[in-house]
């Protein structure tokens, strides 16, 4: 495994190049999966317990039992980062993600039928260099015509693999400014959130942010 990132997949630590998921996996076929994403600072995972707690709230909401406890998930995540730290250069850090799908769709079975869940823990370097210009030049925040999925359709605090709404919003604004970043309105016309971004405004000395009923609550929010 020397020189290549290591991934946890269903009980094994494997080189990233050897990890594969079936094309019949419900996470691929139906977006039937949840995940969470933390990051490291100087190689240490930031608020891992809180991120895993949120992951398990998402799992409970979609009725997926990963087959391992939250304590085991924390331990596995720490081991994945530990195994991958030697690959970081100075000043680099990782995104650290746990991904759990409901498993493979059963061929010839009912839609509800699936195999045991697919559990993945992986990390990849943060795009610090790629995003440096955003810190130097600023971000052009644009509101696309695409609206955020309302809570009546899907609880925004389920961190699921279904990102198509946010992806289409990003595509819509991508060529409209130098440093575009899509922040969607909700179906009521209020500011909500973007891809991986909670929104804060300062008005008359007060910090304002959308209610958790309408957006995913970031762990650092």
CATH of the domain at 161: 3.20.10.10
Q: Which two tokens stand for residue 140?
A: 């052009």
The count of structural domains within the chain is 2
Global pTM value: 0.92
Q: Which of 81, 108, 126 is the last residue of a domain?
A: 126
CB 196 within 8 A of CB 169: no
Confidence band, pLDDT 50/70/90 cuts, at residue 2: low
Q: Which of 100, 126, 152 is the last residue of a domain?
A: 126
Same domain assignment for residues 50 and 140: no
Same domain assignment for residues 70 and 162: no
CB 183 within 8 A of CB 142: yes
Q: Which of 98, 126, 154 is the last residue of a domain?
A: 126
d(CA 104, CA 113): 9
Instruction: Give the domain extent around 107.
Output: 6-126
Same domain assignment for residues 121 and 148: no
d(CA 172, CA 117): 34
Same domain assignment for residues 87 and 173: no
Same domain assignment for residues 139 and 86: no
Same domain assignment for residues 85 and 187: no
pLDDT by residue (tens digit) across 147-176? 999 999 999 999 999 999 999 999 999 999
pLDDT at 220 over 90: no
Same domain assignment for residues 65 and 121: yes
pLDDT at 1 over 80: no
Same domain assignment for residues 170 and 95: no
pLDDT by residue (tens digit) across 49-102? 999 999 999 999 999 999 999 999 999 999 999 999 999 998 899 999 999 999
**70-84 vs 48-62: helix crossing angle, rounded to 10:** 130
Q: Which residues does residue 8 pair with via DSSP β-bridges, in sequence order?
A: 13, 121
pLDDT by residue (tens digit) across 18-55? 999 999 999 999 999 999 999 999 999 999 999 999 99
Same domain assignment for residues 14 and 42: yes
CATH code at position 110 = 3.30.470.10
Dihedral over Cα of 42, 49, 221, 27: its sign? positive
Confidence band, pLDDT 50/70/90 cuts, at residue 133: very high
User: Mean pLDDT, to the nearest integer, of 202-217?
Assistant: 94
Same domain assignment for residues 42 and 118: yes
Same domain assignment for residues 112 and 158: no
């Amino acid at each position: 495994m020397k020189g290549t990132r290591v991934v946890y997949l269903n009980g094994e630590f494997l080189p990233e190049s050897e990890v594969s998921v079936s094309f019949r996996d419900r996470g691929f076929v139906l977006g039937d999966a949840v995940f969470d994403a933390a990051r490291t600072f100087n190689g240490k995972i930031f608020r891992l317990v809180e991120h895993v707690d949120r992951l398990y709230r998402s799992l409970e909401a979609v009725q997926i039992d990963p087959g391992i406890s939250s304590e085991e998930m924390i331990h596995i995540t720490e081991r994945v980062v530990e195994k991958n730290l030697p690959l970081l250069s100075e000043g680099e850090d990782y995104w650290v993600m746990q991904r759990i799908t409901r498993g493979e769709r059963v061929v010839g079975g009912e839609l509800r039928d699936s195999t045991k869940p697919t559990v993945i823990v992986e990390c990849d370097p943060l795009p610090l260099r790629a995003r440096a210009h955003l810190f130097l030049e600023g971000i052009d925040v644009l509101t696309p015509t695409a609206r955020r999925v309302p809570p009546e359709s899907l609880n925004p605090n389920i961190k699921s693999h279904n990102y198509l709404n946010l992806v289409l919003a990003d595509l819509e604004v991508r060529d409209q400014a130098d440093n575009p970043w899509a922040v969607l309105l909700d179906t009521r016309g209020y500011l909500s959130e973007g891809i991986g971004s909670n929104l804060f405004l300062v008005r008359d000395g007060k910090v304002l942010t959308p209610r958790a009923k309408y957006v995913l609550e970031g762990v650092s929010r």
